[in-house]
Structure 1
Amino acid sequence: MSNESKKPVASYYGALTFGTEAMRAKLPKEVFKALQDTIKAGKKLPADIAGVVAHGMKEWAMEHGATHYTHWFQPMTGTTAEKHDAFLTTQMDGTVIERFSGEQLIQGEPDASSFPSGGMRSTFEARGYTAWDPSSPAFLMKGGKGMTLCIPTVFISYHGEALDEKTPLLRSMDAVSKAAIRLLDTIGITGVTKVNTYAGPEQEYFLIDKKFYAQRPDLIMTGRTLLGALPPKGQQLEDHYFGSIPDRVLEFMQEVEEELFLLGIPAKTRHNEVAPHQFEIAPIFEQVNLASDHNLLVMEVMRKVADKKGFALLLFEKPFAGINGSGKHNNWSIGIDGGMNLLDPGDTPESNISFLVFLVAVLKGVLKRSAILRASVASIGNDHRLGANEAPPAVITVFLGDLLEKVLDAIESGKVDLKTEKQILDLGLSHVPVLNKDYTDRNRTSPFAFTGNKFEFRAVGSSQPISVPNMVLNTIMAEALDDLNAEILAKIEGGMAKEDAILAAVRDGIIATKAVRYPGDNYSEDLQRAAAERGLPNMKNTPESVRAWTDKDTVSMFVKYGVLTAEEIESRYNVRIERYVKGIDIEARTLLLMIKTMVIPDASEYQGDLASSFNNLAAAAESIGLSDAALQSQAGLLKTLAEDLSKLIDLTAILEETIEEMEEQESELDKADFCSARLLPCMNAIREVADKIEVQVDRSRWQLPTYSEMLFEH
């Protein structure tokens, strides 16, 4: 730990970020003001001051030891990208100086040909541009022996198409802001110039000892264990959740938090999660574009610190079969810039008209666009997690809680005299204070649950950037707000008083959205039946889910709000299909490698030892008076292993054939469907037999670290 750990956090928070204080110190007053207007109000930065900002940023970075800068962006790879350039510049006379121009700050030109484009451009069309995003502060990233100045940017092609996940997110923020302002004006809240959406992603993760990780080709290549028998003890005693944090892990957490605080990332919560050696870190709410950047940095910082501490960080959604997977609960809200949270019910939600209007808009948006919302979190990892008994199902429903459901029922029936003063819990213990009772209980099975003053989108995967699901949330919300606004205006034009029109539109929305509201256990078969009866999409895997990107009405929505063009949507569909196929192919080939070079040799060697031991025993049976029954009992051990090994060898041959058959499919979508329907079941069949063999083989002969070792050795 550094010296910062001994200081109050406030004294060094954001020290490695070119934030307000650093800007004020390094920029002339008028330049500082212009930059703040750009950041806070979205005004364009005057071109003539970009050079001044660049110089001040460079001076600040070099004072902290930076020698290079990079445009830091989010390509469609699921992670970040950067190309480092030195401040060093050679002059005509051969001398060198450090220089960073306004042009270098505003625009970069990385090679775009090696990043996913989903067919928007040919491989030979290499030119791409990064453009500075002033709304997200530049920061210094530690690495090696120094610092690098990282400048958050968007990434676009030569013709202006978005090749990243940040550009559509920023567009969606603008779209939902404009739609919200229109609706607020209609309901009588005027003068609003900006509405923001906010996010607070709770990041779940596993830590295992690095020595075990290095011995698992499946973890290295795919992020998950393709083989592994469950240990006798897993999470069934429920003793890990919120338990005492092991010292070694706590030291890791403390260093991660220190690095995050230096970067101005508001890490708030740390705790043990449900599964053995699973943990969580959660931030304070931020504007959604900052939350998106910061979550990517959280994952990167955790990787670096974990490696330094002798851990391997596992962010895959389901790294261990039969053990709880990891999500990234995306807490989302919307509010007036610098003002009220529009999803805060207040003390009397039944009379809080802005809350009711925006609540109904959320319900309408989720109901209408649940398919694309589900598609926004579709991935190989989430396919293993969604629908299991620790994660939301593949059906998108909304949980509001008993009290809010009563409020909506009362409004629907016209009983607007309902009173919902804040409730309390009195435990009757003199030394325990009275507790405020929330408006909603927590339904941990719901994929989209109201949790007091925000919605928790619990279906987001732990390894996924939050840009895409929040971009989708913002866009469907913009559409829903406009639809609701149009309904209110139509009623007013039809002769209704404004207050009556608003309430009538809210009531209509309450009635229309009953299908998407589900108060019960989302893990149950009742939910599956309810989904079928209510016509809710139930897309079990990625190939089924990503088809939502091609729905014509969905495409029209994104185009209408200027979030994505039709070409950009098609590219994202293609990228997701391609990544799914390639990912499953890597998993299958890795499994094949492990079976051939590790499992079969280990089992065969042990089988030989058993056979030799049995033959020796059989030869001595008569002389030692061993009965035939006793001899046959020992023969049974050998027989079971031999039969399982033979079955595994046969299944391995089938897997090889299935991989070849997958490659023969005509289209990428055909390959994706084949992977889901044929290749994954084949892999699962192999795993079942291999895991059975694992518990028969002497541990000293088994090369792979076991679940017991990885999950219980700290």
Structure 2
Amino acid sequence: MATLRQQSLMMVQSREKVSFEAPSTKISDYFGSEIFSLAEMKESLAPSVYKKVSVAIEKGTKIDSSSAEEVANAAKAWALAKGVTHYTHWFQPLTGSTAEKHDTFFDALSNIEKFKGSALVQQEPDASSFPHGGIRTTFEARGYTAWDPSSPMFILENTLCIPTIFVSFTGEALDYKTPLLKSMDAVNNAAVSICQLFDRNVKKVTPSLGVEQEYFVIDKALFAARPDLVMSGRTVFGHNPARGQQLDDHYFGSIPSRVKSFMKHFEIESWKLGIPVSTRHNEVAPGQFEVAPVFEEINKATDHNQLLMDLMDKVADLHNLKVLFHEKPFAGLNGSGKHNNWSLITDTGINLFQPSNSARENLQFLTFLVATIKSVHDHADLLRASIASAGNDFRLGANEAPPAIISVFLGSTLSAVLDELEENGNIKIEKGDNMYMKLGINKIPEIILDNTDRNRTSPFAFTGNKFEFRAVGSSSNVAGPMTALNVIVADTLQNMHKDIQEEIDKGSEKKIAIVNVLRNYIKESKKVRFEGDGYSEAWEKEAEKRGLSNLKSTPFALKVLLEKSVKDLYEKHGVLDERELHARHEIRLENYIMKVQIESRVMGDLALNHIIPTAIQYQNKLIENANGLKGLGLDTKAAVLTINEISKHIEALKENVLAMIDARRRLNKEENIAKKAEGYSTDVKDAYFDKIRYAADKLELFVDDEFWPLVKYREMLFLR
């Protein structure tokens, strides 16, 4: 291993930049060139067919078989002209990644390229080998993928990719996209009913999303020399370097040249695929970075985020780099998340979370703002469950991430507005009067202040014209949390409309009825609002007093999925039924167990087969040297102290690893999956991971650098 480490470090020193070229110096010349967009359809379809298809996409109605046949022919001609040979239904099973099965256009029997409308609309992948939570058995393998016309087809690696949903033979959703699409309908229907209290012209409300993606980048050779990174995506061992992120000099700093080259390359490939990436920068931890797109309709944004991660991984390989999407790949450093910037947009062009100079629009803004806060208050545990994963458990509550306690940050201005509305029924939003920061430097123009500061410690923060759900993990498919958010907001809006109508039926004028309901909702949801430091111990104590949950471990957070209220909520809005919810609960518990199991096995392997033998080898060398010094009559006190320290940590490492293995063996006999997952959380991860790591990391300090088998943090993180 020590030899492998040295070889890897030598490879890094000899790396050269990878050359690549953009199709044009203007992004607009090639943006979306690899997608079969509505513009492409308009050019290639008959006007009558194009009208049917575009209306179906806009309104979410079905595309008839004859139109599908025309679309298939046009898509085939477009793809063949670009050198494409295969097509695939691109879907998002409950593995968390994407899936595809490629078929060729070429038909050997007729010796021509074919692509029927039926092949566009539907395929049949094997459903038994994907996670299904007991919905299907091994011998019941049939499942279906079905075309989602609202997300454009695209070309990736000479393959035409068709975004689809994935369902079982009996109709249950086996993917992330199906419930997301249903949740979009739910929040649309509920939001339109509220909007029409203010503007009868509103016929559709679309959830919008911008996903900020955090990630780490290390050299590919160093990644390959760390079995824990290869097997689990994170370093189970590794002592913090003398210089980590404490100077905050990496944040927004000059981007390392190899990473910048990689960024430019994957941005070009993203733009070709219509992914509107717009921002890149260094994050806080060394080796950590962020990419962010502009806002899109939530289904497209979700597809694009999944595609972006896949694209980044492929492009990184060309640059001899490895992208790490794990939420906490390096202990002691900031972890990575997805900051989901969510808003609701009407078909009349209004962002429902945008304050305005108009009194009517401001009342509408407050209505949706309060409804969202009430949703988070009423369903905080469901939101927490939506972001639960083995990786995210390491991140939530750490120094850079929101805590496991779900709360809402509004900022002083909006908090004062809601307090005034609750107490006195008054609405005062002075949007038109800009606030300025006077710097006292004549050369510098005055800075226009926002209505609210940012709170990086809040898991769910209002940031001017949107809510930012910051607690989502960096490796997650955002469709899960966004589905939950859409559903809970839809439910609150539906209840709100009913409550307002009841007030009107009692004789209240419409505006007064709305204000009365808002005042009640503000009062009922007040305890979920928090403006302070979410990292502090004081907040944990305060949250406990308020009765807010603090579910730090995934198996315990996921219990809410089995509650009747959650089942009723999802069934009420037609998003998931009881069987689908139970399946997701089981799938996610299985995933948690396997992730912790893999990490514990990696820990045992590295400790018993690499670290302990290395430490003993070095210890024997020290003993030999000490005996030599003793024979010469020289002082051996320092050597003996070091030998004893190494012995102590070797024993602790061995003892805890063997105890962890015993605990794992006991748990593997447990047939109840919930108890097994909870046991892996408490009796394996919580009981032994930190103890084992402490001993291993102490040995890293004592063993000669030349002997140490694992690539060290300082060697991985400071890539240039």
Q: 1:106 aligns with which of 106, 111, 121?
A: 121
Question: Could you list the per-position Cα deviations for residues 128-183 of structure 1 after superposition, in whole angstroms to 9, with x for gaps in the alignment?
Answer: 000000000000002xxxx1000000000101110101000000000100011111
- How far is the alpha carbon of 1:665 from its aligned partner? 2.1
Equivalences for residues 32-431 of structure 1 within 5 A: 32-91=50-109, 95-142=110-157, 147-185=158-196, 187-347=197-357, 352-414=362-424, 416=426, 418=428, 420=430, 421-431=433-443
- SS of aligned partner of 1:699: coil
Which whole-Å CA distance do the structure 1 matches of 2:532 and 2:284 have between them? 22
1:488 and 2:497 aligned: no
**Sequence identity, in percent?**
46
**Conserved 8 A contact 2:405-2:549:** yes
User: What letter matches 2:662 in structure 1?
Assistant: E
Q: 2:521 aligns with which of 488, 497, 509?
A: 509
User: What letter matches 2:717 in structure 1?
Assistant: L
Equivalences for residues 540-551 of structure 1 within 5 A: 540-551=552-563
- How far is the alpha carbon of 1:709 from its aligned partner? 0.4
Question: Could you list the per-position Cα deviations for residues 182-218 of structure 1 after superposition, in whole angstroms to 9, with x for gaps in the alignment?
Answer: 1122x23113221100110100000011111001111
**Conserved 8 A contact 1:202-1:280:** yes
Q: 2:582 aligns with which of 545, 557, 570?
A: 570
Match of 1:657 in 2: 662
1:555 and 2:567 aligned: yes
- How far is the alpha carbon of 1:511 from its aligned partner? 1.4
Match of 2:13 in 1: none
Structure 2 CA distance for partners of 1:419 and 1:333, relative to 1, 3 Å: closer
Match of 1:684 in 2: 690
Coordinate RMSD, CA, aligned: 1.3
Once the two structures are overlaid, the 10-residue window that deviates more, 638-647 or 469-478, is 638-647
Q: 2:700 aligns with which of 681, 686, 694?
A: 694
Which whole-Å CA distance do the structure 2 matches of 1:282 and 1:106 have between them? 32
Q: 1:614 aligns with which of 614, 617, 626?
A: 626
Match of 2:445 in 1: 433
Which whole-Å CA distance do the structure 1 matches of 2:113 and 2:408 have between them? 55
- How far is the alpha carbon of 1:666 from its aligned partner? 3.2
Q: 2:462 aligns with which of 435, 446, 450?
A: 450
**Conserved 8 A contact 1:386-1:393:** yes
| Number of residues of Structure 1 aligned to a counterpart in Structure 2 | 699
- How far is the alpha carbon of 1:646 from its aligned partner? 2.3
- How far is the alpha carbon of 1:255 from its aligned partner? 0.3
Question: Could you list the per-position Cα deviations for residues 468-494 of structure 1 after superposition, in whole angstroms to 9, with x for gaps in the alignment?
Answer: 000000000100101111111111111
- SS of aligned partner of 2:632: helix
Once the two structures are overlaid, the 10-residue window that deviates more, 591-600 or 540-549, is 591-600
Which whole-Å CA distance do the structure 2 matches of 1:3 and 1:570 have between them? 49
- How far is the alpha carbon of 1:347 from its aligned partner? 4.1
- How far is the alpha carbon of 1:435 from its aligned partner? 2.3
**Conserved 8 A contact 1:4-1:12:** no
- How far is the alpha carbon of 1:713 from its aligned partner? 3.7
Structure 2 CA distance for partners of 1:348 and 1:181, relative to 1, 3 Å: closer
Which whole-Å CA distance do the structure 1 matches of 2:428 and 2:362 have between them? 13
- How far is the alpha carbon of 1:411 from its aligned partner? 1.2
User: What letter matches 1:132 in structure 2?
Assistant: W
User: What letter matches 1:168 in structure 2?
Assistant: P
Structure 2 CA distance for partners of 1:62 and 1:416, relative to 1, 3 Å: same
Question: Could you list the per-position Cα deviations for residues 63-83 of structure 1 after superposition, in whole angstroms to 9, with x for gaps in the alignment?
Answer: 111100000000000010000
Q: 1:643 aligns with which of 645, 648, 651?
A: 648
Once the two structures are overlaid, the 10-residue window that deviates more, 520-529 or 438-447, is 520-529
Once the two structures are overlaid, the 10-residue window that deviates more, 664-673 or 154-163, is 664-673
- SS of aligned partner of 1:117: coil
- SS of aligned partner of 2:85: strand
User: What letter matches 1:59 in structure 2?
Assistant: A
Once the two structures are overlaid, the 10-residue window that deviates more, 664-673 or 568-577, is 664-673
Question: Could you list the per-position Cα deviations for residues 41-61 of structure 1 after superposition, in whole angstroms to 9, with x for gaps in the alignment?
Answer: 212212211111101001111
Which whole-Å CA distance do the structure 2 matches of 1:250 and 1:573 have between them? 40
- How far is the alpha carbon of 1:413 from its aligned partner? 2.2
**Conserved 8 A contact 1:484-1:505:** yes
User: What letter matches 1:137 in structure 2?
Assistant: P
The TM-score with structure 1 as length reference comes to 0.96
Question: Could you list the per-position Cα deviations for residues 384-419 of structure 1 after superposition, in whole angstroms to 9, with x for gaps in the alignment?
Answer: 000111100011000001110111111122262746
User: What letter matches 1:412 in structure 2?
Assistant: E
Equivalences for residues 625-640 of structure 1 within 5 A: 626=634, 630-640=635-645
The TM-score with structure 2 as length reference comes to 0.95
- How far is the alpha carbon of 1:2 from its aligned partner? 4.5
Question: Could you list the per-position Cα deviations for residues 448-506 of structure 1 after superposition, in whole angstroms to 9, with x for gaps in the alignment?
Answer: 00000000000000000100000000000100101111111111111111111011111
Which whole-Å CA distance do the structure 2 matches of 1:351 and 1:412 have between them? 19
Which whole-Å CA distance do the structure 2 matches of 1:266 and 1:701 have between them? 47
1:710 and 2:716 aligned: yes
- How far is the alpha carbon of 1:350 from its aligned partner? 9.3
Which whole-Å CA distance do the structure 2 matches of 1:351 and 1:469 have between them? 28
**Conserved 8 A contact 1:350-1:416:** no
**Conserved 8 A contact 1:349-1:355:** no
Match of 2:544 in 1: 532
User: What letter matches 1:135 in structure 2?
Assistant: S
- SS of aligned partner of 1:458: strand
Which whole-Å CA distance do the structure 2 matches of 1:666 and 1:209 have between them? 41
**Conserved 8 A contact 1:181-1:193:** yes
- SS of aligned partner of 1:197: strand
Structure 2 CA distance for partners of 1:123 and 1:438, relative to 1, 3 Å: same
Structure 2 CA distance for partners of 1:473 and 1:697, relative to 1, 3 Å: same
**Conserved 8 A contact 2:407-2:459:** yes
- How far is the alpha carbon of 1:433 from its aligned partner? 1.7
User: What letter matches 2:688 in structure 1?
Assistant: C
Question: Could you list the per-position Cα deviations for residues 553-583 of structure 1 after superposition, in whole angstroms to 9, with x for gaps in the alignment?
Answer: 0110000000001110010001011100111
**Conserved 8 A contact 2:570-2:577:** yes
Q: 1:16 aligns with which of 34, 41, 63?
A: 34
Match of 1:603 in 2: 615
Structure 2 CA distance for partners of 1:400 and 1:344, relative to 1, 3 Å: same
Which whole-Å CA distance do the structure 2 matches of 1:440 and 1:269 have between them? 22
Match of 2:595 in 1: 583
Question: Could you list the per-position Cα deviations for residues 593-647 of structure 1 after superposition, in whole angstroms to 9, with x for gaps in the alignment?
Answer: 11122111211111111111111111122xxxx2xxx322221111211222122
- How far is the alpha carbon of 1:221 from its aligned partner? 0.6
Question: Could you list the per-position Cα deviations for residues 490-548 of structure 1 after superposition, in whole angstroms to 9, with x for gaps in the alignment?
Answer: 11111111111011111111111111110111111221122111111211110111001
Match of 2:478 in 1: 466
User: What letter matches 1:544 in structure 2?
Assistant: F
Which whole-Å CA distance do the structure 2 matches of 1:583 and 1:74 have between them? 20
Which whole-Å CA distance do the structure 1 matches of 2:233 and 2:380 have between them? 28
Which whole-Å CA distance do the structure 1 matches of 2:713 and 2:360 have between them? 51
* Unaligned segments of structure 1, at least 5 residues: none
Once the two structures are overlaid, the 10-residue window that deviates more, 641-650 or 698-707, is 641-650
**Conserved 8 A contact 1:350-1:418:** no
